[in-house]
Each structure stands twice: as structure tokens, then as C-alpha cells.
């Protein structure tokens, strides 16, 4: 069992003193102010003169801002988080020009994440004690789990959530012990709402529905918040109570998904999942709340990086694969299969299928096809010549133990 070096972030809660909390809150405000000023300057330069402003130019602007009487407060906090804010803005613009994201938006005091990032020059790490620049004394961190032996943080991110909890995230170079390979074990996973995941083995994991469990308590706290006068201290207190309920729901959901994803990666060498368009599915108002509570995207993200850590193969099957409508026994593809139909009988071979289990079996067969033949699995009209996708389709049929399905004759996999 070998080891692989990766960068990992270890997140812990901490309890700052009154002086530390005041200094950190001022740092958060300065980080937000610098980000917004730099964004405004870059936007104005492009709108008025058609010029692109670089990170080096915004860094020079920051020096000038500190010398003004209006922004002299910027010199009272560590300069490293301010420089990091400019680097984050530069990355946001790079993603925008590469068409990977939308145009950067201004940070809001109420809605944006309160955080500050410190690099090596802005903190001291001695014998497990962390002291930030311009901070009185080390942080009182609750070490819920140990750092890897001999690991020293290269970057520290301090944040405060809407529930008033303080967190510190330590980025370290850590060795991830490789799990022993479980042979040729492979699994296909179908994501759903009543059953969060259905495995190709037939096992189903019920959706825990953490948000639904706390729905009544959350609604009561939200009504209390709505009755408070806008901008009052009582409204701030009521908002924190609502945020604590949301934080509890998110923590329980994240813990459940971590345990489930780790189990999947431990037991299988190949994992096949669907590429779901969650944002589009959220447009269905009757299902949006349940889809959000299921958190499919977070589970898929966990599977992605854990498979990379532990040497497993993750295959993401194209979202247009008719996994639910295809018979996993003979390959016949039905024309229609309404969402309310949870079980159906194949007209070709008479096989009876549970909708989710059948989809998971087809996803597994498609994942095996992609793993063996490469390429991608998506239904596309066959061109005049035979392509490599046809070969993958034939392998998919063989993986399911059936001859090349007649229903797949018109598509390329």
C-alpha cells in the first residue's frame, strides 16, 4: 500500500478572544473593501478606456489607498490578506475571460463569506500553536482531529459563518495512504430522492432528508425573524438562530455524505455515476427543495476527489444516456417512461425492473464500456462509418451479458 502526496485542508473550530475577534472582523471588512475597490477600478478602466488592469497594477493601487485618510484603516491590518484578495480577484477575471464563470461581483457585508487568507509570511506555527500577524497570542483551536505527523500549514484561512462560529482551515502537504485495491469490484450508482443512491447490486440507501427533519423548527424561527424590526439588534439575534439551524442541517448532511462516499470508494475499484444537470432540475419548483436537500453535487464532488486520492477510477456517464428506459436484460429502449412509474416490465424479454436498480445497472455497464474502450458514453446519431463508440456499445452489451441490443442499433455510445 503506497502513499500519495496531496494538498489537504484541515478545518477546525476556534474561539477567539475579544481582541482577536475585533481584529479579525476588521480584517474581514478590509478584505471586502479592497476587493470591491479593485473590482470597481478594473471595471471602470475597461468601460471608459478599454484597458485591462493587471494584479500588479491593483497592488500598486492598494499602496496608494493606504496613504489616504479615508482608507488609512487598511494599514491597521495585515497586508497579506489584502494582497490575497487581489489575487482572488485576478483569478476570478481569468476564469471570466476563459468563459468558465460569470463576471466577478461585488462582495456584500451581509451575504458574502467573511474570510481572510494568510500565507506563510503572515502567521507563526510553533509546536502546534498558530499565531496570526498583528494578533495577540495564539488561536484557541479545538483540535477535533490531528494534523498529519510533521505537517506544517502553508496557507491559513480564517472565516466566520452566519451562525457566528469561527473556523480556521490549514492547508498542508499530506500523504494519503492508498487503500488496497478491492480486486475488480465495480458499481453503478443511480441518484434519486426517495433513495439517495441505488447501487447496481440492488442495495438502496434511503435519503436522510435532514432539512425536512428540521423544517418545522426552521419555519418557526424564520417567522420570528420576520416579525423583528428591520435593522434592529433583535433581528440580528433572530437571524443567527435561523443560521444555527441551517448550519446543523448542513453539518449532518456533510457528515452523512462523507461516510457514504468513503464507503463507496473503499469497496469498489471502479465507480460509475451520472452527469446530472442539477441546476436545470432545480427549476422544477415542486422538487427543488428535495433536490437541494439531497445534495447530489456535493456527493459527486466527494467521490471525484476521493477516487483521485485513493487510486480508484471514476467514470461519469453522459446525462443523456437513457439509463432508466433501457432494459438491462435485453437492451430494448422504451419510448416513454414517466417519472411516476417506479417499476416496469420489458416488452421485449418480459423482465421486470425496478426503475432505479435498472438505471444503476445500465450506468455500470456504460462505465465499464468507457473504462475498457475510452471515449464518452452518450447517445448520438451514428455516422456513415463505424466509430469507436460502436465498439464501446458492443462492450456495454457484453458487460450486461446480452447480445448487441437491437434498441441500440440507431445510436453510438
* 230 falls within a domain: yes
What angle do the packed helices 388-399 and 355-373 form, to 10 degrees? 130
Cell of 196: 439517495
Residues 239 and 91 reside in one and the same domain: no
Residues 73 and 162 reside in one and the same domain: yes
64's enclosing H/E stretch is: helix 55-67
Cell of 155: 496557507
Residues 69 and 171 reside in one and the same domain: yes
CA nearest neighbour of 287 among 360, 341, 354, 339: 339
Residue that terminates a domain, selected from 259, 293, 311: 311
> For residue 50, is it left (φ>0), alpha (ψ between -120 and 50) or beta?
left
Q: Are 147 and 170 in contact (CB under 8 A)?
A: yes
What is the domain range of residue 169? 3-177
Residues 297 and 362 reside in one and the same domain: no
Cell of 224: 420570528
Q: Are 26 and 116 in contact (CB under 8 A)?
A: no
Residues 133 and 167 reside in one and the same domain: yes
Backbone phi, then psi, for 34, in 5-degree steps?
-65, -40
Cell of 122: 503572515
Residues 241 and 375 reside in one and the same domain: no
Cell of 262: 468513503
* Each residue's pLDDT expressed in tens, for the chain with a length of 413 residues: 556 678 899 999 999 999 999 999 999 999 999 999 999 999 999 999 989 999 999 999 999 999 999 999 999 999 999 999 999 999 999 999 999 999 999 999 988 999 999 999 999 999 889 999 999 899 999 999 999 888 899 999 999 999 999 999 999 988 777 777 787 899 999 999 989 999 999 999 999 999 999 999 999 999 999 999 998 999 999 999 999 999 999 999 999 999 999 999 999 999 999 988 888 888 888 889 899 999 999 999 999 999 988 889 999 998 888 888 889 888 888 888 888 888 988 888 888 889 999 999 999 999 998 888 765 544 433 333 333 344 444 444 444 444 444 444 333 33
Residue that terminates a domain, selected from 162, 177, 192: 177
Domain total in the chain = 3
The single residue of 117, 293, 356, 390 carrying the catalytic annotation is 356
Distance from the Cα of residue 134 to its chain's centroid = 33
Residues 297 and 350 reside in one and the same domain: no
* Rounded-to-integer distance, Cα 41 and Cα 21, Å: 30
Distance from the Cα of residue 129 to its chain's centroid = 30
* 148 falls within a domain: yes
Residues 298 and 335 reside in one and the same domain: no
Q: What is the dihedral of CA 375, 378, 384, 387, to 10 degrees?
A: 20
β-pairing, 270-274 vs 313-317, is: parallel
Cell of 10: 484541515
Q: Which residue has the cell 459527486?
A: 300
* 186 falls within a domain: no
Q: Are 257 and 215 in contact (CB under 8 A)?
A: no
* Rounded-to-integer distance, Cα 168 and Cα 136, Å: 16
User: What is the number of other CB atoms lying within 10 angstroms of the CB of residue 394?
Assistant: 17
* 200 falls within a domain: no
Residues 92 and 211 reside in one and the same domain: no
* 196 falls within a domain: no
Is 64 annotated in the active site?
no
Residues 139 and 251 reside in one and the same domain: no
Is 274 annotated in the active site?
yes
Residues 305 and 340 reside in one and the same domain: no
* Rounded-to-integer distance, Cα 404 and Cα 394, Å: 6
* 192 falls within a domain: no
* 406 falls within a domain: yes
* 197 falls within a domain: no
**What pTM value is reported for the model?**
0.82
Residues 28 and 152 reside in one and the same domain: yes
The single residue of 190, 211, 293, 390 carrying the catalytic annotation is 190
Interior angle at CA 271, CA 266 and CA 277, nearest 5 = 125
Residue that terminates a domain, selected from 129, 161, 177: 177
CA nearest neighbour of 37 among 16, 15, 65, 56: 65
The single residue of 117, 211, 274, 390 carrying the catalytic annotation is 274
How many angstroms separate the Cα of 242 from the Cα of each of 85, 130, 213, 215, 331?
29, 31, 15, 11, 50
Is 356 annotated in the active site?
yes
How many angstroms separate the Cα of 128 from the Cα of each of 139, 143, 155, 182, 328?
10, 10, 15, 37, 55
Amino acid at each position: 500500500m503506497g502513499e500519495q502526496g496531496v494538498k489537504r485542508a484541515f478545518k477546525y473550530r476556534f474561539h477567539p478572544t475579544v481582541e482577536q475577534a475585533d481584529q479579525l472582523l476588521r480584517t474581514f471588512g478590509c478584505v471586502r473593501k479592497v476587493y470591491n475597490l479593485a473590482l470597481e477600478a478594473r471595471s471602470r478602466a475597461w468601460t471608459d478606456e478599454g484597458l485591462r488592469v493587471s494584479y500588479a497594477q491593483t497592488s500598486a493601487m492598494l499602496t496608494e489607498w493606504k496613504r489616504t485618510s479615508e482608507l488609512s484603516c487598511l494599514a491597521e491590518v495585515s497586508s497579506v490578506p489584502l494582497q490575497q484578495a487581489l489575487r482572488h480577484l485576478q483569478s476570478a477575471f481569468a476564469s471570466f475571460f476563459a468563459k468558465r464563470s460569470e463576471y466577478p461581483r461585488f462582495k456584500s457585508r451581509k451575504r458574502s463569506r467573511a474570510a481572510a487568507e494568510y500565507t506563510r509570511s503572515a502567521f507563526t506555527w510553533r509546536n502546534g500553536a498558530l499565531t496570526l500577524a498583528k494578533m495577540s497570542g495564539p488561536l484557541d483551536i479545538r483540535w477535533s482531529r490531528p494534523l498529519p505527523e510533521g505537517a506544517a500549514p502553508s496557507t491559513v484561512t480564517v472565516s466566520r459563518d452566519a451562525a457566528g462560529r469561527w473556523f480556521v482551515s490549514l492547508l498542508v502537504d499530506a500523504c494519503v495512504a492508498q487503500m488496497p485495491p478491492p480486486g475488480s469490484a465495480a458499481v453503478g450508482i443511480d441518484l434519486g430522492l426517495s433513495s439517495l443512491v441505488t447501487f447496481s447490486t440492488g442495495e438502496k440507501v434511503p435519503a436522510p432528508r435532514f432539512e425536512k427533519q428540521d423544517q418545522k423548527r426552521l419555519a418557526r424561527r424564520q417567522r420570528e425573524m420576520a416579525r423583528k424590526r428591520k435593522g434592529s439588534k433583535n433581528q440580528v439575534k433572530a437571524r443567527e438562530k435561523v443560521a444555527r439551524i441551517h448550519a446543523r442541517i448542513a453539518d449532518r448532511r456533510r457528515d452523512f455524505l462523507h461516510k457514504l462516499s468513503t464507503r463507496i470508494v473503499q469497496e469498489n475499484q471502479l465507480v460509475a455515476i451520472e452527469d446530472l444537470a442539477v441546476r436545470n432540475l432545480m427549476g422544477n419548483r415542486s422538487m427543488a427543495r428535495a433536490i437541494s436537500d439531497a445534495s447530489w453535487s456535493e456527493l459527486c464532488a466527494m467521490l471525484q476527489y476521493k477516487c483521485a486520492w485513493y487510486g480508484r477510477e471514476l467514470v461519469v456517464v453522459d446525462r443523456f444516456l437513457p439509463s432508466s428506459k433501457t432494459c438491462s436484460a435485453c437492451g430494448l429502449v422504451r419510448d416513454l417512461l414517466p417519472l411516476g412509474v417506479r417499476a416496469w416490465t420489458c416488452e421485449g424479454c418480459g423482465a421486470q425492473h425496478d426503475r432505479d436498480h435498472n438505471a444503476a445497472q445500465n450506468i455500470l455497464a456504460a462505465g465499464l464500456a468507457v473504462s475498457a474502450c475510452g471515449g464518452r458514453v452518450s447517445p448520438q446519431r451514428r455516422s456513415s462509418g463505424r466509430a469507436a463508440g460502436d465498439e464501446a456499445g458492443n462492450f456495454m452489451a457484453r458487460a450486461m451479458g446480452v447480445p448487441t441490443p437491437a434498441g441500440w442499433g440507431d445510436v453510438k455510445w
